[in-house]
Chains A and B, each alone.
Chain A
Amino acid sequence: MDTGALVLRDALMRCIRAFFHERGFIEVETPIRLKTPCMELHIDAEPAGDHYLRTSPEIFHKQLLAAGHGRIFEIGKCFRQGEYGRLHHPEYTMLEWYRSHADYMDMLEETRLLVEAVAALRNRGFGEWTLLGISEAFREFAGWDPVAEYDADRFDIDLVEKVEPALGRIAGPVVLIDYPAEAAALSRRKPGNPLVAERWELYIDGIELANAYSELTDAREQRGRFEACADRRRELGKAVYPIDERFVEAVGRMPPSGGVAMGIDRLLMVLAGADSLDGLVAFRSPCDA
């Protein structure tokens, strides 16, 4: 194992914690095993006895927002079944943070400051940031507009085969922004443009590092999205998780908020200039696939 990678990871963790503490955030710990993983169409939770392992801490963080905690962050392992590859590991370290009375653009500004603080560890500036609407990016690199007419299969394949490789050729961080409403996940629709969801994803060197939302705060819509997702998962023969009623109720009570989830192992890759997680995640082996 590369001891340099462990030293760099340690420095990165300290840098991230200092960044959030200076900005008045508190670090929280939330359950790792749970009965009701957050239901998303393409994310499968690892079963653990009569529980599941978390795929993200988000359902607890939103309950904390509803309880009045306005600046929270957590760094911890999350688990996703069947995800192993150059950029994937089935157990990986996630940084997730939320701020009340903030939207996805406020979160983008905070992310930019965080990435700059982290880049200083390596004396490596990442260069100019580029904001690219999903609609523009797809028209430019894939020849169609998923916001005008959404096609889920084509969206995923073209994103992987056409758009992401093109982003890798743009110097500096690239932010893909304003996703089709169909790919909103847990974000809110843009006020004044219901075709678009207030969601962005950050790429550096073509590697997807972070996902952010202006959080959905409409409990009815949240329940509707979970139910639609449950139906699709059932059709695909995937496990359907129970809906966490406390979470849905909290969504309706939480203030307008922004949240970001960032993959720490990939951030480490970008810092180290590596092209795979191999050597950066301790004890990683193909047997983990």
Chain B
Amino acid sequence: MYNASDLKKGLKIEIDGDPCIITNFDFSKPGKGQAIYRCKIKNLVTGNQFEKSYRSGDKVNRCSLISREFTFSYIDGADYVFSDNETFEEARLNDELLGDLKYFIVDDMKVEILFHNERALDITLPNFVEMPIAETEPGARGDTANNVMKPAKLANGYELNVPIFINEGDIVRIDTRNGQYSDRVSKG
């Protein structure tokens, strides 16, 4: 347990069983009165933000978050299933939680999954992933210096902009942190 006086910006705490982070913190103490620790808090599961004040003497639950390495295994309906190579434990994340990251998950990819108790909260992919371009207008030669871009699609339907010289079948490197084209790995 934390004491109210331990609270500070950036601290992760548990409220009603949910992991939360203190996004803003202010210490107040009216003349002769007791200390009031005023927090803005974000629920790490729902993303909801709210304000909460603690008084000296209040106790706050600690939040234990653990990050573990898993390998992508298979898709089961809306769930992406990952497994721990040593224990063969499975972790499931649904496509809603994954958002656009689901487009960049490839066979045997190693990922970091963040757990609160038994619940998977967040996933971190390798910074770059190599994927083939499935659809794009034919490439134009010569214009490799300028940043002229054109739309393209991956086989899974993800749309991104690529330089004009990219052709269908080319393997490109995509930055998973922003979902953007990084560079060309090889020609198709």
Residues of A within 8 A of B (CB): 40-43, 82-88, 152-153, 155-157, 159-161, 164, 183, 185, 201, 208, 211, 236, 289
Knowing A42-B32, A84-B27, A86-B26 are in contact, say whether A161-B53 is a contact too (CB < 8 A): yes
A277-B172 Cα distance, complex, nearest whole Å = 52
B154 neighbours in A (Cβ, 8 Å): none
B150 within 8 A of A: no
Question: Which residue of chain B is the closest to A286 with respect to CB atoms?
Answer: B8
Interface stretch (choices B33-41, B76-84, B112-120, B121-129):
B33-41
Contact B32 A88 (CB under 8 A): no
B57 within 8 A of A: yes
The total of interchain contacts (Cβ-Cβ below 8 angstroms) comes to 59
Smallest CB separation, A121 vs chain B (Å): 25
Contact A185 B55 (CB under 8 A): no
B27 neighbours in A (Cβ, 8 Å): 83-86, 88
Selected from A40, A42, A153, A289, the residue in CB contact (under 8 A) with B35 is A42
Selected from A157, A161, A211, the residue in CB contact (under 8 A) with B32 is A211
A236-B57 Cα distance, complex, nearest whole Å = 8
A29-B35 Cα distance, complex, nearest whole Å = 29
Smallest CB separation, B116 vs chain A (Å): 27
Contact B5 A156 (CB under 8 A): no
A211-B30 Cα distance, complex, nearest whole Å = 11
B55 neighbours in A (Cβ, 8 Å): 153, 156-157
A164 neighbours in B (Cβ, 8 Å): 30
Instruction: Return the CB mask of B86-115 against A: 1 if under 8 Å, else 0.
Output: 000000000000000000000000000000
Question: Which residue of chain A is the closest to B51 with respect to CB atoms?
Answer: A161
A85-B38 Cα distance, complex, nearest whole Å = 11
A183 neighbours in B (Cβ, 8 Å): 32-33
Smallest CB separation, B98 vs chain A (Å): 37
Instruction: Return the CB mask of B27-61 against A: 1 if under 8 Å, else 0.
Output: 11111111110100000000000000101110000
Contact A87 B28 (CB under 8 A): yes
Q: How many B residues, CB 8 Å from partner?
A: 18
Question: Which residue of chain A is the closest to B8 with respect to CB atoms?
Answer: A289
Given contacts A42-B29, A153-B55, 15 further A-B contacts (CB under 8 A): A42-B35, A42-B56, A82-B5, A83-B35, A86-B27, A153-B34, A159-B33, A160-B28, A160-B33, A160-B53, A161-B36, A161-B38, A183-B32, A211-B32, A236-B57
Question: Which residue of chain B is the closest to A164 with respect to CB atoms?
Answer: B30
A88 neighbours in B (Cβ, 8 Å): 27, 29
Knowing A161-B53, A236-B57 are in contact, say whether A156-B36 is a contact too (CB < 8 A): yes
A69-B187 Cα distance, complex, nearest whole Å = 94
A185 neighbours in B (Cβ, 8 Å): 32
Knowing A156-B55, A157-B55 are in contact, say whether A85-B32 is a contact too (CB < 8 A): no
Q: Is the interface of B mostly helix, strand, loop or mixed?
A: loop
B38 neighbours in A (Cβ, 8 Å): 160-161
Smallest CB separation, A267 vs chain B (Å): 15
A185-B34 Cα distance, complex, nearest whole Å = 13
Smallest CB separation, B54 vs chain A (Å): 10
Contact A157 B29 (CB under 8 A): no
Instruction: Return the CB mask of B128-172 against A: 1 if under 8 Å, else 0.
Output: 000000000000000000000000000000000000000000000
B34 neighbours in A (Cβ, 8 Å): 41-42, 152-153, 156
Knowing A82-B5, A85-B26, A86-B26 are in contact, say whether A156-B33 is a contact too (CB < 8 A): yes
Knowing A153-B55, A236-B57 are in contact, say whether A211-B31 is a contact too (CB < 8 A): yes
A158-B38 Cα distance, complex, nearest whole Å = 12
Knowing A156-B55, A157-B36 are in contact, say whether A201-B28 is a contact too (CB < 8 A): no
Smallest CB separation, A249 vs chain B (Å): 24
Contact B33 A85 (CB under 8 A): no
Smallest CB separation, B166 vs chain A (Å): 49
Smallest CB separation, B22 vs chain A (Å): 14
A and B contact pairs by CB, cutoff 8 A, 18 listed: A42-B29, A82-B35, A83-B29, A83-B35, A85-B28, A86-B26, A86-B27, A87-B28, A88-B27, A155-B33, A157-B55, A159-B30, A159-B33, A160-B33, A160-B36, A185-B32, A201-B31, A289-B8
